[in-house]
Every structure is written in structure tokens, then in C-alpha cells.
Amino acid sequence: MWNNITSCSLWRLSPSFMSSRIQTLTPLFIRHCKDFCKNRQTIWTLRNSLCQVLKKTVPTLTCNMFPHCFVSNKARYGQYKKTFPVLDGSIPSVCEHVFEENLRNSEACIQRYSELLCKVSKGGGESAILRHTQRNKKLLVRERLRMLLDDETFLELSPFAGFDLPYGDVPAAGCLTGIGKICGVWCVFMANDATVKGGTIYPISVKKQLRAQQIAIQNRLLSIYLVDSGGAFLPLQAELFPDQSHGGRVFYNEAIMSAMKIPQVAVVCGSCTAGGAYVPTMAEETVIVDKIGSMFLAGPPLVKAATGEDISPEDLGGASMHSKVSGCVDHFASSEKEAYECVRNIILTLNYELPPEETLEYDDPLYSAEELLGLAPRGYSYTLHIKLAEDHTNRLKAQASMMAAVACAAVPKITLVIGGCYGNESYAMCGRSFDPNFLFLWPNARVALVDSRHISTFPQARDDDCTGDDSELKHLKEKLDEENSAFHSSARLWDDGIILPQNSRKVIAQCLTIMKQQKYQIASLQHYPVIRL
């Protein structure tokens, strides 16, 4: 349970549940919780609630913990420090072998993470890159982002989405998404990578775009679309259309976001066919790049087949046609560079009020973030001292209360899975179905209904699937092992990405700053979207 951390998971718990659970809160955990927080106040608040529970008083911490993270208040800081002195977090010698084992496992996981990241960053591969840059004279998606964003410290979301799916590898789901700053404003971006099958949309690409839009809606973030897409990936069209969360939902969301006054800006920086053409047409302001950008519902070959007419892409739906005749776009740019400058100008004209610059006062962590690699759990058969046997008393009721509290908590939520997240833990600790603002995994994390390492103890598995045959049991275990892995989860977009333990503090701080921005926006509904006439 304590392998996951959410902002709000520690309040309004039943005392019996909490007092049973607190036994598992080891000094190591407490010590390293500091690494997840911008300052110590959050962990102190957390410990405060735990202490209240131990005294058998039900905590009603109705406060949002996040504002504490932004308050630079020396008096309060001093008070917390006095009430809750820093614990001695030295690792007991009896646990050192666990630390070493975890460390080795983390190193192996990080190696896999790095190899995969390298593979994903090559998009559709060498020949597709050459076709994209030399024949089609377009910039690569990461070069585009470099021109668009203030700096390179953007938060990339789910880079492993699309990895090793039943229908093959789709690097980064053929679409980069993330949150970066433009002229000081945090914006969600969705950028097709046309080196992956012409930027066509796979089922996983739809899921990734929908998740990015959901983040934009939940956090009231301005959205930018860099569109370079051949529309639906036709061999998988049946999985892209027409269900509720299929392709059409992207356009539906665009309208809803517009009605919510969440500004959306698009750049047509490639050939945008069919579904790819609706995204810029439904955005509130759109820039098209001359000679590179085009938009049509059906391209020249289809026109030829349907009407017999020969027509060039430029005449059918090029930059001049759309900016002079159709009115589907608002700005004509003669180069990609000019287009991204134009987007930056558009953002400036929105007159966003930015959160004031703050000088935060906080202590640096007492221990190196690298140490987290030894604390990232490999397994639980040899974990630290834990008293479980109370689990049986009130578990169901306590979990139901916890789930209700997490679901209804009106505070921003960040979930970080640092170890096993099995079955109902995913609900009570704010997994995907409980709508956290952000959900990340460490590379060693395992997400599944059951822990594959316990498979042999499940009579059902042995009887029905394996009929006593050890090789079948082994095969089943291997399959579940793979399905438990963080990479399997991230490939399917059950999270917002895998992050390295050492980067947890940085990523969470970034999320906190991003979430804070919405306080400074006017988010009133205008009830109707911007419509091109």
C-alpha cells in the first residue's frame, strides 16, 4: 500500500485502518518521502495526520496539501520543524541486503528504460527520417518543439506508449505529447511524428491524444496541436471508429475545450488528411506552413478515383487555398520557423496572467536522490518489518472508505507508483480509474491484478490453466511477469509515463507548478465553442 503516494490519500481514513497501516510506514519511507516534496511541510502534514490517527482521533485534514508547498512562510516552517524533528533514516544493517538487491534490480530496470528511450527517440527509423527531412523538407518533431517552446525542460508524457503492442511497435504512439512553457505559459502540446507511418493515427495514438486533452481540461491548460497526419491508420480502422473513446472524441473534446475557454492553437506542418484535417479546422487559431502544410478530407489520389480529376495537393488544400479561400486557417507562414514564432505571438496576445515568481525556501534533501534506487522495491518476500496478520479485521470497509475519500477529494492529485500496485491498491491509492491529475511509475514498478510471483499459490491457475504441468505454469508466470512490468503498463497508456527515481522530485515539482497555473486563469464556461463561419 505504501508503495504508492498520492497527495490526498492520507486523510479521512478509518482509525483502525490507519493504525494498522502505519506499522508499515518505515523510517526509510518517511525519510525518502522528503524527496517527493518541494519542501518538508508536505511530509510533516502527512506525519501529522498519521500521528492524529495513532492517538485515535479521526483526522479531518480538509486542507489541500498543495498550497503548503508554495507557501514561503518561515514561521510556519519553523513550527513544523520543531513539532516533527527529522527522523534518523539510517538503514538498519539487517536490511542492507534488501537495499543491495533493490539497487541491482533498479540498475537493470534503468538500463531497459534507457535502451527503450533511445529506440523511441528514433521515431519511424532512418529511412523514414530521410524521407521526412530531405524529400518532404520538414523538420523533425523534436526540432519543431525546440522552436516552439521556451526551453527543453518540458514534461514529456508517455514516451513508451505504443511499445510492443499486439499490432506491432508504434514509437511514442506516433505522436509526442507533453507540457512545456510558451512565453512563460504552461501549455499541453500534441505533435504528430510523421516519420511513424506518415503520422497516421493508431488506436494507441487516439488514446494518447485523448489523455493529453484530458490533462488540458483537468488542469485548464492551453493546448497546441502540431498536425502532420495522414489520418486513420487504415488497417486498424475498426478499432478507431466509431466508439465513444475513438477518433471522433478528439474533435468532440476540442469543441468542449473551446466552450470551456481553454484556448487551442494548431499548426498545419504537413499533410493533414481526413481526421488529421479536422484538428486544425476546429482549433481556435490555426497557422499553416506554405508548401509543407495541406488539409483535405480526401487527397488527390482519391479525388482522381472518384471524379477522374487530376489536381495537385497545393490546389486541393494547400496553404494559399486555405488562407485565401476556404478560411479554415487564420495565419499563413512561409516557413516552419515563422509558424512557431506566430504561435508564440498568438500566446502573447492571450494576455495570460502568470503566477507570481516565488522564492521558495526549503532544505535540500538530506540524502542523495540516487539512494532511492536502493529503496525502489524489487519484491516483497523480504521486505522490512511489517505487521499485517489487522488486515483481516476491517479491510474491506476501510478500503471502501478510502476509495470514496480519494474519489471525492477536491484537491489536485499526483500518483507515483514506486513498487507493486496490485488489484484494489490501484483504486484506494488513486490509480488511473480514480482520475489523478498525473500518474507516473518508476521503472521497477509492477501494475497488475495479482503479483505474478505468487502465481503458483493460486489454485485456480494450477487447476484450470496448468493442470499440474509445471512447464505451463512457468509459461503462465513468464507471461504475467511481462504483463506486470512498468513498460507493459506505459505502452498501453495506463499512466503518464515512466520516470527515474532520481527525477521524482523534479517531475513532481514541475507538476505542482503546472497545476498551480489554473488558479490564475478565468475558467468560466462560455457554453459555446468558437466556430469558423
Binding positions for ligand COA, rule: CB under 6 A: 131, 136, 197-198, 200, 230-234, 271, 273-274, 299
123 vs 231 by CB, closer to ligand COA: 231
Judge contact between 173 and 199, C-beta under 8 A: no
Give CA–CA dist 447/441, Å, rounded: 9
Judge contact between 250 and 209, C-beta under 8 A: yes
Least CB distance to ligand COA at residue 342 (A) = 23
177 vs 271 by CB, closer to ligand COA: 271
26 vs 273 by CB, closer to ligand COA: 273
Least CB distance to ligand COA at residue 149 (A) = 25
Please say whether the dihedral angle defined by the alpha carbons of residues 452, 453, 456 and 457, taken in this order, is positive or negative.
negative
Least CB distance to ligand COA at residue 438 (A) = 32
200 vs 253 by CB, closer to ligand COA: 200
Helix (H) or strand (E) run with residue 333 in it: strand 331-333
232 vs 455 by CB, closer to ligand COA: 232
Least CB distance to ligand COA at residue 125 (A) = 9
Give CA–CA dist 50/48, Å, rounded: 5
CB atoms within 10 A of CB 388: 10
Least CB distance to ligand COA at residue 287 (A) = 19
Least CB distance to ligand COA at residue 198 (A) = 3
Place of cell 496448468: 466
193 vs 451 by CB, closer to ligand COA: 193
DSSP 472: H
Least CB distance to ligand COA at residue 294 (A) = 8
Judge contact between 240 and 246, C-beta under 8 A: yes
93 vs 127 by CB, closer to ligand COA: 127
Give CA–CA dist 51/219, Å, rounded: 32
197 vs 331 by CB, closer to ligand COA: 197
Judge contact between 487 and 18, C-beta under 8 A: no
Place of cell 459555446: 528
Q: Which residues lie across from 180 on neighbouring strands? A: 187
Beta pairing, strands 438-441 & 414-417: parallel
Least CB distance to ligand COA at residue 117 (A) = 23
Give CA–CA dist 71/66, Å, rounded: 9
Closest CA to 496 of 423, 456, 441: 441
Least CB distance to ligand COA at residue 323 (A) = 20
234 vs 360 by CB, closer to ligand COA: 234
Q: For residue 290, what are the CA distances in angstroms to 137, 272, 286, 294, 442?
A: 12, 13, 13, 8, 43
DSSP 225: E
